[in-house]
Structure 1
Amino acid sequence: MKTLLLAGLLVLAGCATGGGAGPVDVSGADVSKRVLDNGDTIEEFRVGGQLRMVKVSPSRGAPYYMYDSDGDGRMDNDKDGVSPVYWKLYSW
């Protein structure tokens, strides 16, 4: 019974977080893409000329994202001044 309950909770958690966009709306954004010397790719998403999201695709490893969710033109910071990064764990 516990296994069935746990499986149901995992399915609900996947439905709640699996689909959709990130924490900011970048539909219709201008995307500029550049490749660094080490092979990393950086994509900047600008809405109305303002940077809203950055996607970093390392030459080795999974891509990660940084967001400006409040629209102040700076990437979101935590209490120590470090920008949190987000990884897409799965999607369907």
Structure 2
Amino acid sequence: MPRKRTRIISLAACGVLLLSGALHAQPEGSGLEPVQAPPPIPGLQSGNTLEPEVTITHSKKKVFQEYRINGRLYAVKIIPKDGAPYYFIDLDGDGTLETREYFLIPVNQWVLFSW
């Protein structure tokens, strides 16, 4: 019986301590001002496209897919007849398509899912 009583008293004391901390977390009249609502998100302008433009060019041994946004080339996917497809990608936006030879540590990349 005394053991059960001490457990109830200790649980009640923990509850009182937790509630007292919540009451003093932010004193009343701390000088904070309410935050204004953010401005509305601007709509899409008529000249901008969100989806890439894909140009597909066929040759005897390869298929080239060029990806552009607003007329700027940012990636090329090359699909050879024999072998796996590979990419040239403009990683830093300077207009130069990088290949793996520019990287210090080459990382193998495969497309796992596509839809």
For residue 90 of structure 1, report the CA deviation from its aligned partner: 2.3
Task: Provide the residue aligned with 1:59 in structure 2.
Answer: 81
Quote the Cα distance in structure 2 between the aligned partners of 1:36 and 1:85.
28
Task: Provide the residue aligned with 1:28 in structure 2.
Answer: 51
Kindly indicate whether the alpha-carbon contact (under 8 Å) linking 1:65 and 1:85 is maintained by their aligned counterparts in 2: no
Q: TM-score, normalised by structure 2?
A: 0.45
Of 45, 52, 60, the residue aligned with 1:37 is 60
For residue 85 of structure 1, report the CA deviation from its aligned partner: 9.3
For residue 87 of structure 1, report the CA deviation from its aligned partner: 4.1
Runs of 4+ in 1 over 3 A off after TM superposition: 84-87
Are 2:100 and 1:74 aligned? no
Q: Name the SS of the counterpart of 2:76 in structure 1.
A: strand
Quote the Cα distance in structure 1 between the aligned partners of 2:96 and 2:86.
17
CA deviation profile, 1:19-56 (whole Å, cap 9, x unmatched): xxxxxxxx611100011122x10000011111100000
Kindly indicate whether the alpha-carbon contact (under 8 Å) linking 1:65 and 1:86 is maintained by their aligned counterparts in 2: no
5+ residue gaps, structure 1: 1-26
Quote the Cα distance in structure 1 between the aligned partners of 2:109 and 2:54.
19
Identity of aligned residues (%): 33
Question: Whose RCO is larger (CA < 8 A, sep 6+)?
Answer: 1
Quote the Cα distance in structure 1 between the aligned partners of 2:75 and 2:107.
11
Task: Provide the residue aligned with 1:9 in structure 2.
Answer: none
Q: How many equivalent pairs are there?
A: 62
Quote the Cα distance in structure 2 between the aligned partners of 1:49 and 1:91.
27
Q: CA RMSD in A?
A: 2.7
Amino acid across the alignment from 1:34: T
